[in-house]
Amino acid sequence: MDTPIRLLIIDDSIDDALLLVRQLKKNGFNPTYKQVDTAEAMSDALDAQTWDAILCDYSMPNFSMHKALDLYKKKQLDLPFIIVSGTITDETAVAAMKAGAHDYIIKDNLARLSPAMDRELRETKVRHERRLAKYELIKSEEKYRTLFEESRDAIYISAKQGKFIGFNQSTTELFGYSKEEMLGMNTKDIFVNADEYRKLQEEINQKGSVRDFEAKLYKRDGSEMNCLITSTVRRSKDENIMGYQGIIRDISELVLSQQKLEKTLEKLRKALGGTIQAMALTVETRDPYTAGHQRRVSNLACAIGREMGLPANKIQGIHFAGIIHDIGKISVPGEILSKPGRISENELGIIKEHPRAGHNILKTVDFPWPIAQIVLQHHEKIDGSGYPDGISGETILIESRILSVADVIEAMSSHRPYRPTLGVDAALKEIQQNRDVLYDAEVVDTCLKLFKERGYRL
C-alpha cells in the first residue's frame, strides 16, 4: 500500500515539482502537494494546513532556501526540511543542514529522495513520540505533585535508613514540625513503641507493602495519636530497596469514638443480661424444682457451641436463649409444675405449649439474636416428633438443636417432683442412642466429647 504524504514544494519550476512527485510515487509514496515560490505563499500554506515534509529548491529568482529555512524555523515546525537542488556544493549543503535543514538531494540523483524521505519521516515520528511521552510524563508528574501537596492525608517519602526525604504540608501539620525540622528526621523517632516500628519494617520488606498498619505515633509536643500507616517499598531498577513511601492517617478520634461505643454497648449488654436474668428468676419463682435448670442448660449449651466452633456472637445468643428458654412455663399452672405424681395427658398437653407461650412473650422484644425462635424450637426433634410444631432436621435452628441436647442432659441429671435424678450417665446414654434420630448428630458427638474427654461437669 502506498504511503500517503502531504508535501509542500518550494520551487519556481512546475516541471521540477512534478519530477519530485513522480519519483516518490515510484517508490511507495502517494503524495498530495502544493507548490509555492514566495515567502508569502509559503507562510500562507504553512498556516492553512499540516504538512508531512518540505522539499525546497536551493536557488530561486524571487525566494531563497535561506529565507525559506528562516521562515520554517520561525514557525517552530517539526517536519523534514529537505533541500533539492541542481547545483549546490557540499560545503553549502553542510552549512544549510547546520542551519536547520535535514538533508539535501541533488536533482541529478533523485534516487536518494525516497530513502531520505522515508528516514526523515521515521525520525520525525520518533521525535514526536518522545515529545508526547515526555509531555505525558510531565502531566503525570504535575498531577502526582498536585495530589501529593493537596492531599489531606500525610504523605511521606523516606530513605532506606529511615530518614524523611520528602513529605507534603499535611505531614508537617499533622506532626507539628516545620519542614526544616522534619527533613532528615528518622521515621523511627516518631513511633511510641519501638516494636511497632520494627514489625512495620519487617512486614514492608517481606511483602513489599503494608496496608492500614495501626501504630501510636508522637507529635512534636510529645502527645500521642493513633494512626493507620500504608506504606510501600521504593526499589531501584536492579530491585534493590531505595527507601519507602507511604500515607499516615490520624484515627485518634475514631478510636476514641469506638471506645465510647464499646462502653455504651457493654452497659447495654449488662442491662440486657440483667433483664433476661430477671425474666429467668420469674420462672424459677413459680417452679422452684427447676431453680438453676435454665442457667445450667445455658452453660452446657454454650460449651457445646464453643467446642463446635460457632462464632462468639452466636454463642452469646445461645447463652441468653438458654437463660430464659423455659419462660413460657409462667403460663402453666403452678400445681402442674410442682405435681409430685404422674402427669395426665391433658396436663402434659398444657406443658407442651410452654415453648409457644415463651415465643409469644419474647417475639415483641427486638433482640440482636433470634431468641424467640430459639425458645420456640428447643423441644423440636430431628425426626419431627418434637413439639410444638413438629418440624425436623435442619429446619430447626442450630441454637435450638444445641439447647435440646443440653436440656435433656440437665433434666435427666436433676431431681424432679415426679421422679428422682436419673444421673448423667443415663442422660448421655439417652442422647447417644437417639443420635441423628431425636438429636442432632454433631451436637450429640460434641456433648459426649465434653463429658468424656474434656471432663465437663454440670
Return averaged pLDDT per consecutive 10 residues of the chain, 458 residues in all: 85 90 90 92 92 89 88 89 83 84 87 89 86 69 59 84 87 89 88 92 88 92 92 84 88 84 75 67 65 87 96 93 87 73 80 90 87 95 95 96 95 73 89 95 96 90
- The yes or no reply on domain 256-452 and CATH 1.10.3210.10 is yes
| Domain locations in the chain as residue ranges | 3-131, 151-250, 256-452
CA dist 88 and 347 (Å) reads 128
Say which amino acid occupies 441. Answer: A
Whether 440 contacts 395, CB under 8 Å: no
**Where does 151-250 sit in CATH, by number?**
3.30.450.20
The pTM score is: 0.48
Query: Using one digit for the tens of pLDDT, what is the confidence trace for 47-84?
Result: 999 999 999 988 888 888 889 999 999 988 889 999 98
Length, in residues, of the chain = 458
Ramachandran area for residue 222 (φ above 0: left; ψ -120 to 50: alpha; else beta):
left
Helices (H), 50-112: 65-74, 90-99
CATH of domain 3-131: 3.40.50.2300
Task: Kindly report, residue by residue over 115-172, the tens digit of the pLDDT.
Answer: 988 898 888 888 888 877 776 765 665 655 555 566 778 888 888 888 988 888 888 8
Nearest Cα neighbor of 280 from 266, 295, 265, 259 is 295
Strands 29-36 and 53-57: unpaired
Sign of the torsion formed by the C-alpha atoms of 381, 386, 390 and 396: negative
Whether the Cβ atoms of residue 428 and residue 443 lie closer than 8 Å to each other: no
Cell numbers for 258, please give them.
Answer: 469506638
C-alpha cell at 433: 442412642
Q: Report how far residue 83's alpha carbon sits from residue 113's, in angstroms, rounded to the nearest whole number.
A: 10
State the DSSP code for 52: S
Residue type, 81: F
